[in-house]
Amino acid sequence: MDGVLVINKPSGMTSHDVVIQLRRILHEKKIGHIGTLDPDATGVLPVCIGKATKIIQFLDDKDKCYEGTITLGIETDTMDASGKITRVSDSSKIKVDDVTNVLKDFIGEIDQIPPMVSAKKIKGERLYKIARQGKTVDRSPIKVRIYDLKLIKFYQENIIGIDNYKNFAKFDFSVTCSKGTYVRTLAFDIGNKLGCGGHLSRLVRTRSGQWTIEKSVQLNEIKENPQIVSSSIISMDNALSFMRSVVVNETGKRKFINGVIVDTADILSHNAEIKFDDNVRIHDISGDLLGIGRAFQSVSKSINFKPIRVFANN
């Protein structure tokens, strides 16, 4: 079984927890997820199965869409609802126009400091493992891009167990962002910009690359009926459909699956213009996907293809 399965991750599980459960259900060791969702977050988590684990790097750099809620006036040590409250302030005077104006400041390329409770590695060690030891380390800011950030609903709400203030401002939002964006950090930074602090109290990933939540499968559905995987799995060829396609002759096929450069003379056809350094899908004359090649320009100025990932067997 080789392909991509789009899971609607439930709350309370890490992304790796999902992988572990699927390995048990499907009796398949080679499973890996594309991108990471925090335990509290729900939504789209694409999972690669079998040979498809070889294409994770080609799928992981796509943009993501989220919907969530930010609670203003309450900060936590994890920047989301799972953490301990570290500061409480009055956010009742924040108005909808204040939020709308601040959100505009975060559109475009921004700097983010990765949260301590994250999977990012510093000197080979995951930050969340360092945080569990009660330690904090310096983190360099990273650049991410916010393509779109919109206010969906603004409201005020009482928070049970917090008596310092009667009402806390909250708002629902949607965001489209680049790979590597920490939405928890975004929530924290927005709260700081508004002068009252805040945390991410809800998060749903609605899209990851080409895959949307509407096309996802619940983990419980797979537990109850593992057979649905066969009708839900996305072939590797379809998963890579954003890449141009090249068809090679039998000579080109033999070269490719043996890791040898494919010459222009071995190309039968391609479905669009191919440029230097493009990654392309390599197909044989029967339409079977052989793997991924990278285009490069030879001395004779012709485009040749270097095997990057080979899926077909010799």
Pure H helices in 105-164: 127-132
Q: Which two tokens stand for residue 165?
A: 């203030």
Going by the DSSP 8-state scheme, the letter that residue 103 receives in this structure is H
181 phi and psi angles, rounded to 5 deg? -75, 130
pLDDT at 238: 96
Query: For residue 211, what are the CA distances in angstroms to 11, 59, 269?
Result: 19, 11, 28
pLDDT at 314: 56
pLDDT at 309: 94
State pTM to two decimals: 0.89
pLDDT at 276: 84
pLDDT tens readout for residues 191-219: 999 999 999 999 999 999 999 999 999 99
- Residue spans of beta strands (DSSP E) within the chain: 3-9, 31-33, 42-49, 64-72, 74-76, 85-88, 108-112, 121-122, 125-126, 142-157, 168-177, 198-208, 211-212, 217-218, 244-248, 267-270, 279-283, 289-297, 303-310
Catalytic choice (2, 38, 40, 80): 38
Instruction: Specify whether 38 is catalytic.
Output: yes
pLDDT at 244: 92
Q: Which secondary-structure segment (H or E) carries 293?
A: strand 289-297
User: Which domains occur in the chain, in start order?
Assistant: 3-62+210-238 (3.30.2350.10), 64-207 (3.30.2350.10), 243-310 (2.30.130.10)
Contacts of 143 (CB under 8 A, 6+ apart): 109, 110, 111, 112
C-alpha closest to that of 146 among 63, 38, 79: 63
The pLDDT tens digits along the chain (314 residues) read 899 999 999 999 999 999 999 999 999 999 999 989 989 999 999 999 999 999 999 998 889 999 999 999 999 999 999 999 999 999 999 999 999 999 999 999 999 988 767 666 776 677 667 767 776 777 778 899 999 999 999 999 988 777 666 789 999 999 999 999 999 999 999 999 999 999 999 999 999 999 999 999 999 999 999 999 999 999 999 999 999 999 999 999 999 999 999 988 899 988 778 888 899 999 999 999 999 999 887 545 678 899 999 997 75
Alpha-carbon span 170 to 92, nearest angstrom: 9
pLDDT at 56: 94
Length of the chain equals 314
Query: For residue 292, what are the CA distances in angstroms to 111, 302, 308, 309?
Result: 33, 19, 6, 5
pLDDT tens readout for residues 132-186: 777 677 777 889 999 999 999 999 998 877 766 678 999 999 999 999 999 999 9
Three-state SS for 24-38 is: HHHCCCCEEECCCCC
